[in-house]
Amino acid sequence: MSFFDSFANKIGHTAEAINQNKYLYSIKTAFTVYMPFIIVGSFATLFNTILCSEEVGLAQFATFSFLSAIGPAFTAINYATMSTMSIAIAFLIGKTIGQRNGVDENYSALVAVVSFLTIVPQAIVTVVEGMEDILTSGIATTSINAQGLFVAMLIATLSVELFSWLMKKEKLKIRMPESVPSGIARSFNSLIPVLLVLLVFSIISTVIFNWTGNYLSDIIYNTLQVPMQKVMQNGPVGIILLAFASAIFWVFGLHGNMVIMPILSPLALAGLADNIAQVQAGEAATNPLTMTFFRVYVVMGGAGVTIALILSLLVFSKREDQKLISKLALIPGIFGINEPLVYGLPIVMNPIFAIPFILSQLMATVVAYIATVTQIIPAASVEVPFGLPLFVNAFVGYQSFAAILVQVVILVLAFLIYIPFVLASNRMRGSETGNK
């Protein structure tokens, strides 16, 4: 077996292991299901600014001053979707793991949420100058918004695994007569496992707080989430590695974007939520990595910036098969769908096009990152849905014509990267024809 074949097998096995891992699968599923709410929540902030703001929105004009009155409605939507997302993610992860474990998915989801809530601070301290600190019951937004994502993911996983194990212990089930409705019987069957799970997490959290003075949720956040966010947001290395991994999986026939989604989603979502909070506070957003950044630039016109490959094939290819595939792939490519080209050209397992495919995706990542950190474009505070056409997605995501210009620069550079390889494919085809 050649080195290339051996490497391909290893990549395939890695992707298969990721897809079959129930924890990564559950995380990916949770964020996929919740994505529409994230998009709606981010657009609520955008609408609040451009419609209801009396400083920069339509409401600043007397004719539209009535719009300021509906601003709280958009604020409420943003709060309900973005500021409580950790609860929803815990619920969805718990539900999926419960399904995979063969236990009741509803109880699994609820166990995940309630276990998560037992370890977060349940009191809010209000500091008023000149007065004693005021302690009130409640859960701070920072515990249940994007800052709590990693905590929610971890606690949901551990709590449902413990719940699933306990549910399979027959001695812990309270048996009810057959005349009792099945719903009530299931409730009693779950009673002791639920009690034990909540006791475990609540007691552990209380002991840790009494011992260290810190809540378990804060310890997990500072130990896991903060370092990972710094790696991804405070330098290009983390983003480039994700882009490279995505491209490599694509080259070997796997949907690279979906493979890296369990890692990308929580980090990108945390970055977006932080950007939204900064914008709402009147500050400039600072986190480059969001799902909008990934969709608008890293996989612009399809992973590997394949919209540029389509154009280079239409201009420089002398092969009728390549031109035909390019014509068929052009419209989907404008909307970010590149499977017709990846599998039809193909790019999969094709060294001639795999090299520029990877290079173009890395180039797009670097150019967009530089444009963001140099403030040519702002960091995104709006989550754009997948499927918006090229250039439109940039303007919607960044509300800036400069964002479109960055796409144009990436498109031109990727076009130039692909040209030599298109010409090489022409020569190789000519050589094969000559040999025949």
Last residue of a domain, one of 230, 263, 291: 230
Q: Assess contact for 271 and 288: CB atoms under 8 A.
A: yes
Alpha-carbon gap, residue 34 to 237, rounded angstroms: 28
Mean pLDDT: which of 58-67, 381-390, 411-420 is highest?
411-420
**Is residue 12 a part of any domain in this protein?**
no
Structure tokens belonging to residue 317: 């290819």
Alpha-carbon gap, residue 15 to 258, rounded angstroms: 10
Statement: residue 10 has pLDDT above 80: no
Statement: residue 301 has pLDDT above 60: yes
**Is residue 243 a part of any domain in this protein?**
yes
Return the residue matching tokens 């166990």.
111
Predicted TM-score (pTM) of this structure:
0.81
For residue 17, the one-letter residue type is A
Which of 164-178, 205-219, 239-253, 395-409 has the least mean pLDDT? 164-178
Helix (H) or strand (E) holding 348: none
- Same domain flag for 196 and 125: yes
Helix (H) or strand (E) holding 124: strand 123-126
Last residue of a domain, one of 230, 252, 277: 230
- Taking only the tens place, the pLDDT of each residue in 116-166 is 999 998 877 666 665 555 656 778 888 888 888 899 999 999 999 999 999
**Is residue 30 a part of any domain in this protein?**
no
Query: Average of pLDDT values for 283-312?
Result: 93
- Same domain flag for 326 and 270: yes
Q: Assess contact for 268 and 294: CB atoms under 8 A.
A: yes
- Taking only the tens place, the pLDDT of each residue in 77-105 is 989 998 899 999 999 999 999 999 999 99
Among residues 151, 90, 147, the alpha carbon closest in space to that of 287 is found at 147
- Same domain flag for 361 and 380: yes
User: Above pLDDT 70, what percent of the chain?
Assistant: 89
Statement: residue 2 has pLDDT above 60: no
Q: Which residue has the higher pLDDT, 174 or 4?
A: 174
Instruction: Specify the number of domains making up the chain.
Output: 2
Alpha-carbon gap, residue 108 to 110, rounded angstroms: 5
Which of 52-61, 134-143, 226-235, 310-319 has the least mean pLDDT? 134-143
Which of 69-78, 259-268, 301-310 has the least mean pLDDT? 259-268
Q: How many helices (H) and strands (E) does the chain have?
A: 20, 2
Query: Average of pLDDT values for 14-36?
Result: 82
Helices 236-251 + 3-20 axis angle, to 10: 110
Among residues 322, 323, 335, 326, the alpha carbon closest in space to that of 295 is found at 335
**Is residue 55 a part of any domain in this protein?**
no
Strand-pair partners of 125: 135
Cβ neighbors of 66 (< 8 A, separation 6 or more) are 59
**Is residue 29 a part of any domain in this protein?**
no
Query: Average of pLDDT values for 17-37?
Result: 85
Last residue of a domain, one of 182, 198, 230: 230
Residue 200 pLDDT: 95
Strand-pair partners of 123: 137
Please, which pLDDT band fits residue 4 given cuts at 50, 70 and 90?
A: low
Alpha-carbon gap, residue 402 to 196, rounded angstroms: 56
Residue 232 pLDDT: 83
Alpha-carbon gap, residue 90 to 22, rounded angstroms: 15
- Same domain flag for 400 and 330: yes
What range does the domain containing 378 cover? Answer: 234-435
Please, which pLDDT band fits residue 51 given cuts at 50, 70 and 90?
A: confident
Residue 202 pLDDT: 94
In 127-236, DSSP assigns E strands to 134-137
Alpha-carbon gap, residue 91 to 415, rounded angstroms: 44
Q: Assess contact for 406 and 372: CB atoms under 8 A.
A: no
- Taking only the tens place, the pLDDT of each residue in 393-407 is 999 999 989 999 999
